[in-house]
Amino acid sequence: MPKDSLTITDNRTGKQYELQIENGAIRASELRQIKVKPEEFGLMSYDPAFMNTASCKSKVTFIDGDKGILRYRGYPIEQLAEESNFMEVAYLVVHGELPKKEELENWKYQIMHHTYVHENIKKFVDGFHYDAHPMGMFTSTMAALSTFYPDAKEIFDPQSRQLQTYRLIGKVSTIAAYAYRHAMGFPYTYPDNDLSYAGNFLGMLFKMSEPKYKPNPTIEKALDVLFILHADHEQNCSANAMRSVGSSYVDPFSALAAASAALYGPLHGGANEAVLRMLKEIGSKDKIPAFIKEVKEGKSDKRLMGFGHRVYKNYDPRAKIIKKLADDVFEVTGKNPLLDIALELERIALQDDYFVSRKLYPNVDFYSGLIYQAIGFPVDMFPVLFAIGRTAGWIAQWQEMLLDKEQKIARPRQLYLGYDQRDYVPIVRR
């Protein structure tokens, strides 16, 4: 008997089945052979929220949640944050290898020369209400972009995919900035292709009357690192949306709008905003013990926001990098007064048996909001910033799905528990 297999005994029939184990998994479709009667559909696995189902084979991102490891294409996130830059990391995530010098120059040139959007987009963004949420504006404008680029439907043409990749990574920053400027009531700022990706984004956000915007190098670097840290996170809710919607062979602008909508939700991209609200609510260090007590007692479902993670059962490696980054940013902007509360909260929580025994550690969102706020972003821009970095990962996941011969249109099964057939009853007899 081969070693990498699983023997299942169906106690309903006494029959035994041998299933291959490949890469630590069995194929769920192999279960279909297990039936009591030949006409039956066969056994399925039931897995709401994909708690234990691998939906794809991937070579993009590796996470070991117990050890607190995150790697893009094999490279540790710490090394990338320390030594690389977002343009290089985006290339790595999308193409699978670090670029050579000329490849990187071309990649940067192409992306920065695809930052402009059609003038009609401005009119489109103008149509939103003055207090429209920037993430709503971003998501729907990304969907609208698909109507400007009908050639994006050529998803199996590698050249077209490459062009859409330049357009997507280039234009997400412009549309994010337009959403911000619209919300602030400021005129839109055109991209400046001489600046770095992060520098240009800061310019599109904050440039006023000065002829040439000069980003503060510390802020520019911090934003670049934050984009790196958010570039991908394997099969999370929005990556799964990108793959699932993309599996219908829709164009990548439409699929990315779906991914962005998934990110908009408070359980995914909205937690850093919740951290800020929580820190404000606590208000001062002396109130922390009472707050922790309430969380532990489970009063009104209170949670320590920015703590805990479905995958990480150790310190989120991104949180460590962000914590260090915060010091650099606060030297320029002045310290965010909420930082002291955050640090003390972390110190107390990490000594408390409730959090220790449940393996609840700070996640990426615990400190990122403090940095964003110090840079000058309103809280509802936070998920949009997340989306800019994550665009590289969404594209990589989408492309990997398209080129994977085993993938088909994503279509889960269900366990139907509703009525059996019954006859229609006319309304007068109900």
Residues forming contacts to ligand ACO in the complex (CB under 6 A) are 268, 271, 295, 303-310, 358, 360, 363-365
* Residue among 279, 273, 362 at smallest CA distance from 313: 362
CB of 236 to ligand ACO, least distance (A): 7
CB of 303 to ligand ACO, least distance (A): 4
Query: Distance between CA atoms of 18 and 204, rounded to whole angstroms?
Result: 60
CB of 106 to ligand ACO, least distance (A): 32
Q: Which is nearer to ligand ACO, 297 or 340 (CB)?
A: 297
Q: Which is nearer to ligand ACO, 251 or 346 (CB)?
A: 346
Q: Which of 182, 232, 309, 380 is catalytic?
A: 309
CB of 403 to ligand ACO, least distance (A): 27
With both helix axes pointing from N to C terminus, report the angle between 339-349 and 288-297 in degrees, rounded to the nearest 10.
Answer: 50
CB of 142 to ligand ACO, least distance (A): 20
Specify the pairing of strand 61-64 against strand 69-72. antiparallel
Closest residue by beta carbon to ligand ACO: 308
Q: Which is nearer to ligand ACO, 215 or 362 (CB)?
A: 362
Q: Which is nearer to ligand ACO, 360 or 385 (CB)?
A: 360
Q: Which is nearer to ligand ACO, 48 or 334 (CB)?
A: 48
Burial class (CB in 10 A: 0-12, 13-18, 19+), 153: middle
Contacts of 131 (CB under 8 A, 6+ apart): 183
CB atoms within 10 A of CB 284: 10
Say if residues 396 and 402 touch (Cβ distance below 8 Å).
no
Q: Which residues of 394-421 are buried (b: 16+ CB within 10 A; e: fewer)?
A: bbbbbbbbbeeeebeebeeeeeeeeeee
CB of 255 to ligand ACO, least distance (A): 20
Query: Distance between CA atoms of 18 and 34, rounded to whole angstroms?
Result: 10
Q: Which of 268, 328, 352, 404 is catalytic?
A: 268
Concerning whether 233 is annotated as a catalytic residue, the answer is: no
Concerning whether 118 is annotated as a catalytic residue, the answer is: no
Say if residues 314 and 67 touch (Cβ distance below 8 Å).
yes
* Helix/strand/coil for 123: helix
CB of 55 to ligand ACO, least distance (A): 18
* Residue among 195, 242, 220 at smallest CA distance from 94: 242
> Mind giving me the DSSP string for 181-230?
HHHHTPPP----TTS-HHHHHHHHHH--S-SS----HHHHHHHHHHHHHT
Query: Distance between CA atoms of 148 and 137, rounded to whole angstroms?
Result: 17
Query: Distance between CA atoms of 201 and 246, rounded to whole angstroms?
Result: 27
Q: Which of 224, 232, 251, 365 is catalytic?
A: 365
Concerning whether 365 is annotated as a catalytic residue, the answer is: yes
Q: Which is nearer to ligand ACO, 2 or 298 (CB)?
A: 298
Cite the active site residues.
268, 309, 365
